[in-house]
Amino acid sequence: MINILEEPWLLLFVSLVILGGIVLFRQSGCGQEFSGKLFFIPVGIALLAFGLDRFVRTDREAIEYTLNRSIRFVRTRNFDDFDNIFSPNYSDAFHRNRVQLRHFCESSLAMADIERLSKRRFTLTLKTDNAEAELSVLVRLRSLTQSYAGSKSLFFVEARLHFEAMPDGRWLICSCELVSLNNQPFSWGGVP
């Protein structure tokens, strides 16, 4: 089903249909007494479509914003944004809390020289106050680091992310499980 808050196309289509109806009504001669003010109706609907799309952030868009922020965090290794990506209630099978995850990321990302990181697939299951996402990314490493440089520098990583809604409307990652690396089962314990 189309969500008019995420996609403006339905309201734009409605405004075009109304515009066509107004033009046909005026050309038939029935609407000669109506002024040109009728044309403001489809224009208003079109502006509403773009306004809703631009200024109203849906839960899905908030989750995608957090996900894109996390990808930028891994690329840049800028830990200033860490608390705005991961929930204070974070825990997974390998990290008891957000502090452990931060220490792990600091040591692992220091060894990795990431050249490129791109999102390949993203599926989202949204509930009222939590969400689950399946994410597939392509990671290309520069072959300068001895830890990773061996045989391959291209990795396909799949992860399962859990998000929770914060009272201020943000969605933060509350759990992340690594599912596979190059189509082989993989977990946090295998990350150097």
Lowest average pLDDT, out of 5-19, 75-89, 97-111, 152-166, goes to 5-19
Residue 125, H or E segment: strand 114-126
Tell me the HSE value of 103 on the side-chain side, using a 13 A CA sphere.
6
Q: What is the pTM of this model?
A: 0.73
Residue 75 DSSP class: H
> Which residue shows structure tokens 């992860």?
159
pLDDT at 153 over 50: yes
Give me the residue spans of the domains in the chain.
Answer: 9-55, 81-190
> Which residue shows structure tokens 């990773």?
148
Q: What are phi and psi of 161, to 5 degrees?
A: -110, 140
For the domain made up of 81-190, the CATH class stated in words is alpha beta
> What are the pLDDT digits (tens) for 7-25?
788 888 888 898 888 888 7
Tell me the HSE value of 5 on the side-chain side, using a 13 A CA sphere.
8
Burial class (CB in 10 A: 0-12, 13-18, 19+), 100: middle
Distance from C-alpha of 117 to C-alpha of 120, rounded to nearest angstrom: 10
**The 130-141 sheet, strands edge to edge:** 114-126, 130-141, 154-165, 171-181, 184-185
Count CB neighbours of 59 within 10 A.
Answer: 19
User: Which of the residue ranges 15-24, 48-57, 143-152 has the most confident prediction, judged by mean pLDDT?
Assistant: 15-24
